Amino acid sequence: MAHFDALIIGFGKAGKTLAGDLAEGGSKVAMIEKDPMMYGGTCINIACIPTKLLSHDSLAGVEYSQAVERKNNTIPKLRDKNYHNLADNDNITVFDAEARFLNDKEIEIESQNGAVQQLTADDIFINTGAVTALPPIEGVDSDKVFTSTSLIEETVLPHKLTVVGGGYIGLEFATMYNAFGSEVTVIVPENGLLLSEDTEMAEAIQQEMENAGVKFVFGEKAEALEDVSDSEIKVTLSNKDTITSNAVLMATGRKPMTYGLGLENTSIELSEDKSVRVDKHLKTNVDHIWAMGDVKGGMQFTYTSLDDYRVVKSRLADDGAYNMESRAHTHYTMFVDPPYSRIGLTADEAKEEGYDVAEGKVDLSGHPRAHVNNDLRGLSKSVVDKASGKILGAALFGANAEELINLVKLAMDHDLPYTALRDMMYNHPVMSESFNGLFNV
């Protein structure tokens, strides 16, 4: 039975980065990946990079099939680079195989040709990511029903697309396919859009999407799916209304990928959502087994997975001073048009926590750079604590929001007062100089 210093299940961001780091330090590492099309992880192969590439091309006016072709030419190059970054290292052995725990110490792997072997390691890291969570709806197995993974592989643009789910994935795909030319309808079970966001920001996002042609159905659930012809599928809603289109995207969330790992053969504890339960150092309740990335639950972002690597590295190489409790502020971006980015608290959330809130707001239609860009869309809001000057949060809806939010995070992470962003001298004309006004509360 082969033994390694470290065994990592899953070629995603946290796992691949940790593998490279440990190997450079002289450790013998086994990297297990069951799908050769997933070298590099979810982001590179089926999520961030391919979808943002398609989103970019849709907004640039590129024809759909050409955009898909560019995606299909780009992703294999990135996948191959990621594979060789590990496979070409003498201290790393990449196994194209599916891993299953036999017990707390032994892993059985089975390759695609059926060959089976057992491996052990001083430390084992679960980095298997997440998969689409499909609700048990009648007809969901139709070949006209897609996930975010499968839809972007289609080379023919659906004339009409129904999106089930009004979360980030659903809204990004609605924006993208609408820009390519599909007639898009989004089914939102809640009675409004993005209810966890600031109400004014959510209304601004909805208005821009509707202005672009996206239609919304609120307060209804998809209860059944039925093929009505070779090219059409019908969605029956909870109020018995129906929507007919050429394709349905199930944007109903993602769940931790723990199924099939043989965790029932171990002492590893799972949370209620079936994610792997970990401590602040990302250790499971089994001392030598860890979990990183989406499989451990929480926010499912590539950059949080990378930060998981930092947490594990801190514990392996030092005293673990950097841990999950050190991760103060996690920001996120929804790539609608224009992009929307958020960090920290909304004004209502801050008030509920007892802060004496001051709120800043900038309508980007009056911003000089917006006129240069010939794009007057967007709204930005800031939330600060009057007493301490602490930045509590910000929401940015407009051009370059995905970049600007990092500047706010930097200020928040280093406890800079809001006046630091308010009084900074920015170059001109740029979008970031809007912070002079946004934080002038």
Structure tokens at 308: 């998981």
Is 120 found in the same domain as 167?
no
Is 246 found in the same domain as 167?
yes
Residue range of the domain that includes 12: 2-130+255-326
Is 248 found in the same domain as 188?
yes
Is 88 found in the same domain as 69?
yes
Strand 379-385 with 391-397, pairing: antiparallel
End position of a domain, from candidates 309, 326, 343: 326
Is 60 found in the same domain as 29?
yes
In a domain, 286, yes or no: yes
pLDDT averaged over 10-residue windows placed end to end, the chain, 441 residues: 97 98 98 97 96 98 98 98 98 98 98 95 98 94 97 98 97 98 98 97 98 98 97 98 98 95 98 97 98 96 96 94 94 98 98 98 97 97 98 98 98 98 98 98 96
End position of a domain, from candidates 274, 294, 326: 326
The total number of structural domains in the chain stands at 3
For residues 284 and 125, is the Cβ–Cβ distance under 8 A?
A: no
State residue 100's pLDDT score.
98
State residue 318's pLDDT score.
87
Query: Which residues are catalytically annotated?
Result: 428
In a domain, 137, yes or no: no
Is 317 found in the same domain as 293?
yes
Is 429 found in the same domain as 296?
no
Q: Which of 355, 334, 344, 364 is nearest to 435 (CA)?
A: 364
CATH of residue 408's domain is 3.30.390.30
Is 79 found in the same domain as 57?
yes
End position of a domain, from candidates 213, 229, 252: 252
Is 159 found in the same domain as 225?
yes
Four-CA torsion 8, 9, 11, 16, nearest 10 degrees: -20
State residue 328's pLDDT score.
86
φ and ψ of 190, to 5 deg: -80, 170
In a domain, 136, yes or no: no
Buried b (16+ CB within 10 A) or exposed e, 340-359: bbbbbbbbebbeeeebebbb
In a domain, 431, yes or no: yes
In a domain, 135, yes or no: no
CATH of residue 196's domain is 3.50.50.60
